[in-house]
Amino acid sequence: MTSRRSLPVPEGLDGLRLDAAISRLFGLSRTAAADLVSAGAASLDGVVSAKSERVTAGAVLDVDLPEPDRAPLPPAQVVEGLRVVAEDDDILVVDKPVGVAAHPSPGWTGPTVIGGLAAAGHRVSTSGAEERQGIVHRLDVGTSGLMVVAKSERAYTVLKDAFRERTVDKRYHTLVQGRPDPLTGTVDAPIDRHPTSAYKFAVVAGGRDSVTHYETLEAFRHATLLEVHLETGRTHQIRVHMAALKHPCVGDVTYGADPTLARRLQLERQWLHAVRLSFAHPADGRRVSFDSPYAPDLQRALDRVRESSWT
């Protein structure tokens, strides 16, 4: 069984070989794309062309795609508070609550985004390992906010490339202890696994390139609200870089935060929320942006900071 798909060539693919353009647009391997062209199952502006033909922006690619084998969905599990912000044929944008992992992993038996989407009847891409199908990036279990999940195979490939090429704009807000100096700055420090703790990460010489930009939104006596922009997406990156500045995220006792402040604010996790996500839509390249309000526990803690004389 096959299905006909037609898409215009976006500006970013102008000049690519036909097989490479098909690979990128439809989420196929380069070999599979070349095989489709050789079999006459693909055309450029209605003309069956050689796989080495160069495409131009705006030209229409028509491809007869084989129906993918449907891999089994991961175990469905209703996830309270998991909210779908936007959905179309290619993507799902979700607002993830705290206490939820992106996908199943060894040692984690709690709720997951993938399990919650399955329980709600949402289809996701079959690309990637079975336990993380459709997942192109992650948020920590203790971090709330926006994630994008691929529904189509094309979206999976395009979004993975976008995150790898750092064209996705990820914005976070975090409440940190103290007041950073300078109030606006950049942390450019490599991150790798912690030398002595299996579950932590740290700034380590020779680690992976990691860059975090931050800007002060509100400054209080003992805490500061920051907007953070990530160039890279390392595990625990914001938490590690804020700790390296000696201004850990409020409530993040794993990375050195004072538990007394968290208790005063009645906060049981790190104050960190993915507030904005912007990227080129995998179907046509148009820029799309999504925003998320603070999770209720974070908003309550921030309100207490604003109202309390000791902060």
Give the separation between CA 228 and CA 172, rounded to whole angstroms: 5
Asked if the bond preceding 293 is cis, omega within 30° of 0, the reply is no
Please identify which residue in the block is written with the tokens 């402040």.
261
Asked if residues 143 and 241 have their Cβ atoms less than 8 Å apart, the reply is: no
How many residues belong to the chain?
311
Catalytically active residues, by annotation = 140
Asked if residues 265 and 225 have their Cβ atoms less than 8 Å apart, the reply is: no
